Amino acid sequence: MKLYLTRHGQTDWNLEMRAQGRCDQPLNDTGRNQAIALRDKIAGLDFDICYTSPLKRASETAKIAVNGRSEIIYHDSLIERSFGDFEGKIIKSWSELVDGVNIDDPELTKITGGVETVQSVLARTKTFLDELKAKHPIDAKILVVGHGGMSKAFDWLLSEHDPDAFYGKTHLGNCELKMYEI
């Protein structure tokens, strides 16, 4: 099975370096143009279905990129990681906001301010991947439109990494596309 993973196009909050999390921000003009460029990039790919986060920035990206070529399924497991009390705030460094804590530490079981743990994000992503494997044939080609935090979870679960690797080493840019074999 081939999984094509992409992140939504740019929003105004991306430009402002604001933590979006589950805040439902739309694409800006640049983001729409990025989605159009993604549509052109994937025009030659024959994917079977598209899954997307229901948040505006991802669902709008999916609609533009797919351009009516396949069914789009909105899936709550693909919603962005919750950044709790920090959503909407300008982020220079997460560790400054969260009392010096690396919020991408997979060992943390609780994070101040209601930030969703990496363990929770990984569990949601694994459940989604298991669902894909159960629902679709082994030769399926699937497009997934999601978020930066989710892209880290997909990469962690689907890529080889040594025991010393840090979570979040891969973070997709807006409308960047990455392919995984699952």
The span from the CA of 74 to the CA of 92, in Å, is: 31
In this structure, are residues 50 and 38 in contact, taking their beta carbons and an 8 Å threshold?
no
Active-site residue, 161 included: no
CA distances from 91 to 3, 15, 18, 19, 154 (A): 30, 11, 6, 6, 23
Cα 58 to the center of its chain, rounded Å: 8
The span from the CA of 168 to the CA of 37, in Å, is: 26
Which one of 8, 87, 116, 147 is the catalytic residue? 8
The SS3 of residue 5 is strand
Which one of 71, 75, 80, 147 is the catalytic residue? 80
The span from the CA of 4 to the CA of 180, in Å, is: 6
Active-site residue, 80 included: yes
User: Which sequence positions are flagged as catalytic?
Assistant: 8, 80
